[in-house]
């Protein structure tokens, strides 16, 4: 369970970074508009990974009860 909690923590930090990268790109538009698909895909993936890890952690905690 500690490994799952650590994974969620790391993914949470990565998601914050990805969110800020997407935000920064949006604020700089129309400059670097070509990077939208790349940055959006990376942001989407890290949030999908975080969601999956949180669900896995929740299931593990419920199983431990």
Confidence at residue 3, expressed as pLDDT on a 0 to 100 scale: 95
* Residue 11: pLDDT over 90: yes
8: closest CA among 34, 37, 44, 47?
Answer: 47
CA distances from 21 to 13, 41, 44, 61 (A): 13, 12, 12, 32
Query: Which pLDDT score is estimated for 28?
Result: 96
pLDDT at 1: 87
- pLDDT tens-digit map of 19-45: 999 999 999 999 999 999 999 999 999
Residue 52 has what pLDDT?
98
């Amino acid at each position: 369970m500690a490994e799952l909690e650590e994974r969620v923590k790391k993914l949470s930090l990565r998601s914050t970074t990805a969110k800020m990268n997407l935000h920064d790109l949006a604020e700089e538009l129309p400059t670097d508009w070509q990077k939208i698909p790349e940055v959006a895909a990376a942001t989407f993936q890290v949030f999908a990974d975080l969601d999956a890890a949180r669900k896995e952690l929740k299931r593990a905690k419920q199983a431990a009860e």
